[in-house]
Amino acid sequence: MDRSLEGRTAFVTGSVQGIGLAIAKALASAGARVGVHGLATPQQAADALAEVKKGGAAEARFFEGDLRNPAAIEAMMKEVTAWGGPDILVNNAGTQHTVSLAEATRQVWDNILAINLSAAFDTMRLVLPGMKQRGYGRVINIASVHGLVASVQKAPYVTSKFGLVGLTRVAALEYAAAGSRESGGVTVNCICPGFIETSLIEPQIQERVAKHGGDRIAGIADLLGEKQPSLRMSQPDDIGALALWLTHPAAHNLTGAAIPVDGGWTAQ
């Protein structure tokens, strides 16, 4: 059993469901204390904490904070830091709105950029100095395949994800020499998922499944055929497993990367 994160504290934004919850559970399985965050009712927050604790977390706590509000982020991160660390920061929270560039409003632009990019800037600038001081730290930003390639109808989203990849690379350079191989060092990386099988895209899946007479595999292949050569989706747990590996000492020299998990999408 992997208990490599015992004594470490992790904080995962947007972790009450989907990819964020899968990452929180993966880190919990290695013995980390895990801070959970998200837009959630008290029951949703309690359910997420229960799953993380069941997954093996040494301790779990829910933190509130509106990621559109820099003051709220600063207050939340002070609470997280007082709780401990964090040694591992995962910026997973994100939002998307599909709209043409001509029809996108400034409100849509500001909202997406605030949550997907500016919030990561604030969390990172507040925790990286402490990681440097301790000689160990992992920042894992959940970007997207759209941080590497563009698609139509997604100008604000693509901009935010390209920006997140750039921010990640700058931070990786600034902290590359922090710590040592023995202490684990400080690394900053992006994971760039393609299609992930979550509730958010289930309506798209069901539409294609119906076209193929109820055959889910054929429906998914039809949906992915335009973009993802593998013709199969990843699961949230796959992203959790990769995030966990990035926390290991063996990953001390992997920094500044934007790692695609996209079935060959960006290899084309």
CATH code for the domain in which residue 75 is found:
3.40.50.720
Catalytic, 157? Answer: yes
User: Is 89 contained in some domain?
Assistant: yes
User: Sheet containing 59-63: which strands, arranged edge to edge?
Assistant: 59-63, 33-37, 9-12, 88-91, 136-142, 185-193, 258-261
Same-domain status, 221 and 152: no
Same-domain status, 156 and 61: yes
Report pLDDT digits (tens) over 178-210. Answer: 999 999 999 999 999 999 998 778 888 999 999
Same-domain status, 95 and 176: yes
CA distance 105 to 98: 12
C-alpha distances out from residue 9 to 36, 127, 249, Å: 11, 12, 15
Element (H, E) at 35: strand 33-37
User: Is 151 contained in some domain?
Assistant: yes
User: Is 110 contained in some domain?
Assistant: yes
pLDDT of 1 higher than 80: no
Amino acid 200: pLDDT:
73
Residue 221's pLDDT band, with cuts at 50, 70 and 90, is very high
Same-domain status, 213 and 171: no
What is the pLDDT averaged over residues 241-266? 97
Domain of 46?
A: 9-194+235-257
Spell out the residues 6+ positions from residue 226 whose beta carbon is closer than 8 angstroms to its own.
Answer: none
CA distance 136 to 143: 22
Element (H, E) at 19: helix 18-29
Dig out the tokens for 179 from the structure.
């710590």
Closest CA to 86 of 140, 153, 19: 140
User: Is 219 contained in some domain?
Assistant: yes
Amino acid 77: pLDDT:
98
User: Is 129 contained in some domain?
Assistant: yes
Amino acid 204: pLDDT:
84
Q: Can you spell out the DSSP letters for 125-141?
A: HHHHHHHHHHTEEEEEE
CA distance 102 to 34: 42
Spell out the residues 6+ positions from residue 257 whose beta carbon is closer than 8 angstroms to its own.
Answer: 172, 189, 190
Whole-model pTM: value is: 0.96
CB-based contact 116:95 (threshold 8 Å): yes
What is the pLDDT averaged over residues 92-107? 95
Same-domain status, 181 and 125: yes
CB-based contact 157:151 (threshold 8 Å): no
Of 11, 109, 157, 265, the catalytic one is 157
User: Is 76 contained in some domain?
Assistant: yes
Amino acid 203: pLDDT:
82
pLDDT of 41 higher than 90: yes
Amino acid 2: pLDDT:
84
User: Is 262 contained in some domain?
Assistant: no
Same-domain status, 26 and 110: yes
User: Is 117 contained in some domain?
Assistant: yes
Number of domains in the chain: 2
What is the pLDDT averaged over residues 138-152? 97
**pLDDT over 90 percentage in the chain:** 94
